[in-house]
A and B are shown apart, each in its own frame.
Chain A
Amino acid sequence: MNTIFNEVKTIIRKYAFDKTVVDKATENSKIIADLKINSARVVDIVLDIEEKYSIDIDDKSLEKIITIKDAMNIISDKTK
């Protein structure tokens, strides 16, 4: 899970205005509220995750993604 955490952070970092905030992020960091990610960039983050892990993130899964840990859980569920 630590690897997935770092990989997700790397993806998010690409789209963050303030990369230092992402560098200090924990699993419980909220992607939009804490990491100050512009909502449109969430589209890029979701697409990058789908491409990297060869998964499809459906709307029900999207609705659950608030924190980095939520994204990690979705990835784990879909790559089992």
Chain B
Amino acid sequence: MNYIGNDILFKQTIETTFARTKAIMHVLTENEIYLMHFLDTKIACSLAWTIKESIYKIACKEGHNLPFVPKYIFIKDINFTGEGAYRGTAIFKNQIFSFQSEITNKYIFSYAFKQHENLDQITHYWFPNNPEIHSSMKNTELVNFLISKKWELCYSVNGIPQIKNQLNQMDISITHDHDFLVLSKLKHE
């Protein structure tokens, strides 16, 4: 199965957590600081976090079971593709991942995939989120959407969300922070 990873940070998190002076030391390597020098520090830090967390989610689905250490994932290149969008590649455990990111004035969102040619084949469903409800399955909008699609959300033994349909199971990635919840999946599945 081709796994997807995604991650979102809401502006409040960007302005608090990732604005802390020492946050950058835990998230970005020296090379990445240089690579993203054109961005404000907390934006670069937040962007890198979402990219790396997306990749970490894929690695976990493939069996990686150690805690997330952002500086063990290396952003190799990142290119501005217009209208707040960025695309690039990163390396983790000798494997190359492609990512796509979006920076807006409300959030930073990234998703990652191994097959670069399929990066544009990933679709995203956005839902309002109540930050006080930690479980995705208690998000009414998400649940109603899943029911309308006749998708059954299930979790593997190690907590990986997947959608059951009649033929097979589709990999998805779910992320939420403050006001937003995003579900990402491959379009053709």
The interface of chain A, by Cβ under 8 A from chain B, is 17-18, 33, 36, 38-44, 46-47, 50, 57, 59, 62-66
Contact = CB atoms under 8 A, between A and B. Distances in A.
A33 B26 contact: no
Given A62-B26, A63-B69, A66-B67, A40 B159 contact: no
B134 A46 contact: no
Most buried by B among A17, A38, A46, A63: A38
Contact of B17 (A43, A50, A59, A65): A43
B66 interface: yes
A66 B66 CA distance: 8
B69 A62 contact: yes
Nearest to B131: A17
Q: When A and B form their complex, which 10 residue pairs have the shortest distance between CB atoms, in order from nearest? A: A17-B134, A63-B69, A62-B69, A36-B134, A59-B69, A44-B17, A59-B71, A43-B17, A40-B13, A47-B20
A39 B53 contact: yes
Contacts of B23: 43, 47
Contacts of B67: 62-66
State which size class the interface on B falls in.
Answer: 20 to 34
Nearest to B13: A40
Given A40-B9, A62-B67, A63-B67, A18 B134 contact: yes
A34 to B, nearest CB: 12
Interface string B53-74: 1000000000000111101100
